[in-house]
Structure 1
Amino acid sequence: MEALQVRHRKEQRDLQSRITQKKKQASKKTRKGVNDECNKLEDELKEKHASEVAAVSGEAPKHDDGVPSEQLEDLALKTDGDEKAHTTNGTDDIEDSRAMHLASDEAIVPSQLRKPNRQKARLAKRAADVEAQVRQAAEEAKNMPDMKQQERTRMLDSMKERGLHEKEIRADGHCLYSAVADQLEQLQIPLGSAPDEKSVLKYKAVRGAAANYIEQHGDDFVPFLEEPLPDYLHKIRDTGEWGGQLELMALAKSYGTDINVLQDFGRVEKIESGRGGEGRVMWLGYYKHGFGLGEHYNSLRKAA
């Protein structure tokens, strides 16, 4: 029995050393798995020792764990003494391993024990919601009238009634100015922006004419602006900012020609130059739904 106890104590010390080493090397992600493995090793050794003690001493009365009460008490006292003898710098190896165990990462936690990733779950739910909304919008769109096609059909009918045909203008933010440039060519009116008009983009020359007129007659336009006049002029001259009602007014005055803007349902908006009697009229087609960028102007020429 004494030899058996000596061997048991040695095996317990060896196991504690192994356990300490495992827990020191554990990461946060491996913590749970290492802890479970260490508990299992301890239980297996304890059960083995209990069986061996029972075999040597005969069928002695068993403790709850299957170890004879006297042997269990003796082993506990001696093991405790051995553990105290193996402390370093006054710190118990077991307590040290537990502290490191709590500060380490978990790496090999079984997938069924991992906590669900809430962020991934939220992202997945959001993606599913967006997909559902897209499907719903597509279904609703099937039952909606094709605004683009309907507007196009009505515009073509209105052009035909007035003896006009359409010159399509590129939808690039400069469409109003490009359409006016095309109309000026049809009316044989110079763009009048540079000594050599061929060296300047046509739409850019028209932008310059609109900006110059607004700058020279600022009092007529400033009340309608939502930004300082210099900033507004910069947008007209140097950017792809869309043109609208104010620019049409400036161009009609600058080039001395009335401008008729044909719109959906055959409505015609007239911008007068103030030089009545000259008989020069530009025709533009205005679309609200017909092009990718939204609002758009085309040039309308007289049918041959």
Structure 2
Amino acid sequence: MDDLLAQLDARDASVQQETAAIVQEVVSNGDIDTRDSTAKEKKDPRSRWRARQARKAQALTDAAPASDADADARLQREAEEEEKTIKKMLDTLDLEMHEINPDGHCLFSAVADQLALLGILSGPKANYVTTRHAATGYMLSHSEDFLPFLPSEIGDDIMSQKEFEGYCATMRDTGTWGGEPEILALCRVYNVPIHVVQSGQPHVVVHDPNGADAADDDLKHAKACRISYHRRMYGLGEHYNSLRPRLHGIHRVTSPLKNLVS
């Protein structure tokens, strides 16, 4: 296990430059002209996705209220409470947090890290590209399991088949954040439970490929992917990290985020 963790840490270092470049691109293009994006959106799914993201960002900026000291203090308290609750669960489960880069691929990168620990993925295949393709491929071939839970963007009904195919293409090819549908697809396509540690109740959400519930003892000892879900800790909205076995007697901080900014 020690050698495997060392290999995973080394692999993380190799992707940091790529992530830094992505972050720099986002920063450099923070003032994307939505008119230009609209002109491009007929060309390909990536251009359409960029246009939607630009419009959403502009709408959020326009709607943002002036700074509120009370609201800021409340968010800070919520972040601290979230961190405290998740840390307590990690102590109970004998896990440590491995921070994943907040580049939109966090769910898929966290699951890829876990699949590498379990020996399900190895080498260069243990990355978000592999898990994005696996999840969306499964979703497309089992659309009846996912369509009822995905609302249409153009009405009050569920997505049409065409919308669903576009949704999967965007999820596969861009940095769109993944969520519950993608977690379900990942646990089924790799046939392994995914345990999500969070501050809300229940503190461990079990996604089982067969729909089974996990006993309390299984939360610690069962073969499963273990990730954490954060709403407040990073100030970035929703985020996922990978949870690795704790090495007793050794205090490890595995944080590519810190390495990026140090």
- Residues 1:267 and 1:215: Cα distance change in structure 2 (over 3 Å): same
Partner of 2:113: 182
More helix by share: 1
CA distance in 2, matches of 1:140, 1:259: 34
Counterpart of 1:205 (choices 130, 145, 165) is 130
- Residues 1:165 and 1:224: Cα distance change in structure 2 (over 3 Å): same
Partner of 1:271: 207
Partner of 1:262: 197
TM-score (norm 1): 0.50
Compute the RMSD of aligned alpha carbons.
2.6
What SS does the corresponding residue of 1:289 show, helix, strand or coil? coil
- Measured after TM superposition, the shift of residue 148 of structure 1 is 1.2
Which structure would you say has the larger RCO, counting Cα contacts within 8 Å and 6 or more residues apart?
2
CA distance in 1, matches of 2:135, 2:204: 22
The reply to whether residue 156 of structure 1 matches residue 87 of structure 2 is yes
User: What percent of counterpart residues are identical?
Assistant: 35
Question: Any gaps of 5 or more consecutive residues in structure 2?
Answer: 1-64, 153-158, 215-221, 248-262
Residue 239 of structure 1 aligns to which amino acid in structure 2? T
Contact kept, 8 Å, 1:257 with 1:275, in 2: the verdict is: no
CA distance in 1, matches of 2:203, 2:74: 28
Partner of 1:98: none
CA distance in 2, matches of 1:229, 1:188: 32
Residue 109 of structure 2 aligns to which amino acid in structure 1? S
Contact kept, 8 Å, 2:112 with 2:121, in 1: the verdict is: no
CA distance in 1, matches of 2:166, 2:208: 26
Residue by residue over 1:90-112, the C-alpha shift from the partner in whole angstroms, topping out at 9 and shown as x without a partner, is xxxxxxxxxxxxxxxxxxxxxxx
The reply to whether residue 169 of structure 1 matches residue 100 of structure 2 is yes
The reply to whether residue 248 of structure 1 matches residue 183 of structure 2 is yes
Question: Any gaps of 5 or more consecutive residues in structure 1?
Answer: 1-132, 192-196
Partner of 2:31: none
- Measured after TM superposition, the shift of residue 141 of structure 1 is 3.5
CA radius of gyration, larger in:
1
Q: How many residues align?
A: 165
CA distance in 1, matches of 2:74, 2:245: 38
Contact kept, 8 Å, 1:210 with 1:254, in 2: the verdict is: yes
Partner of 1:224: 149
CA distance in 2, matches of 1:146, 1:155: 14
CA distance in 1, matches of 2:83, 2:171: 28
Contact kept, 8 Å, 2:115 with 2:126, in 1: the verdict is: no
Residue 251 of structure 1 aligns to which amino acid in structure 2? L
TM-score (norm 2): 0.57
What SS does the corresponding residue of 1:241 show, helix, strand or coil? coil
Residue by residue over 1:80-136, the C-alpha shift from the partner in whole angstroms, topping out at 9 and shown as x without a partner, is xxxxxxxxxxxxxxxxxxxxxxxxxxxxxxxxxxxxxxxxxxxxxxxxxxxxx746x
CA distance in 2, matches of 1:220, 1:253: 11
What SS does the corresponding residue of 2:111 show, helix, strand or coil? helix
Partner of 1:293: 236
Contact kept, 8 Å, 2:75 with 2:232, in 1: the verdict is: no
Residue 217 of structure 1 aligns to which amino acid in structure 2? H
The equivalences for 1:28-39 within 5 A come to none
The reply to whether residue 282 of structure 1 matches residue 225 of structure 2 is yes
- Measured after TM superposition, the shift of residue 145 of structure 1 is 5.3
Contact kept, 8 Å, 1:180 with 1:282, in 2: the verdict is: yes
- Measured after TM superposition, the shift of residue 219 of structure 1 is 1.4
CA distance in 1, matches of 2:75, 2:184: 36
Contact kept, 8 Å, 2:104 with 2:177, in 1: the verdict is: yes
Residue 162 of structure 1 aligns to which amino acid in structure 2? L
